[in-house]
Amino acid sequence: MTTEYKQRATIASPVTHIADANQLALALGESSADDQTFGAANYQDAEGNLYAVASTVAKPVFAQLAGQPLQAPNHAPGVDMEAATRAQALLQINGGIATPNVIAVILSARTESAQDHIAVLGLTGLDGNNDPNFDPSDLTWSEY
């Protein structure tokens, strides 16, 4: 079986940029539900700054599309383009550890794990959990 989704993208949004990051996900994504990509800030860096993390498979054009001028997609004509553009300006692809001033993206082969990407970003899950699907508020596993 072949797929168009040949890469894995793990994205860390600082807590202060989650709303804008969700609008960027909606603008770049393929579903009207992509504005729910980033939920609770369940990760932290060494200084205690909080981040929401999402990890998904992506098409090879992801980095190119993320760097182009944004347009409202057919599935979300009401996307907040100002918020999406603010988030886009903060994107840093394969630039190293997450910081409060960037929306950090690790992009690699789809066979790499989200946990490996989270380690590269320099983040740890709250309560020591490093799975991007973990929700410590109810201590259950949720599907992404």
Q: How far apart are CA 58 and CA 80, in angstroms?
A: 22
1 lies in some domain:
no
- Residue 68 placed within a domain: yes
Segments forming the whole domain that contains residue 68? 7-141
Please tell me the total number of residues recorded for the chain in this structure. 144
**Contact by Cβ (8 Å): 51, 58:** no
Question: Residue 103 has which token pair?
Answer: 């929306």
In this structure, of 23-32, 37-46, 104-113, 121-130, the range with the lowest mean pLDDT score is 121-130
Alpha carbon of 92 to those of 10, 31, 51, 75, 89: distances in Å? 12, 23, 15, 26, 9
Handedness of CA 80, 81, 87, 92 (dihedral sign): positive
Separation CA 62–CA 116 (nearest Å): 20
Answer whether residue 64 is part of any domain.
yes
Residue 2 in this model has a pLDDT that exceeds 90: no
Residue 2 located in a structural domain: no
**Each residue's pLDDT tens digit, 42-54:** 999 999 999 999 9
- pTM for this entry: 0.85
Q: How does residue 128 score in pLDDT terms, banded at 50, 70 and 90?
A: low
**Has residue 48 been placed in a domain?**
yes
Phi and psi based region of residue 128 (left: phi greater than 0; alpha: psi -120 to 50; beta: remaining): left
- Decide if 137 is inside a domain: yes
Compute CA distances 116 → 29, 46, 106, 125, 144, whole Å. Answer: 23, 17, 10, 13, 17
How many structural domains compose the chain?
1
What is the per-residue pLDDT across 65-99, written as a single tens digit (0 to 9) for each? 899 999 999 999 999 999 999 999 999 999 989 99
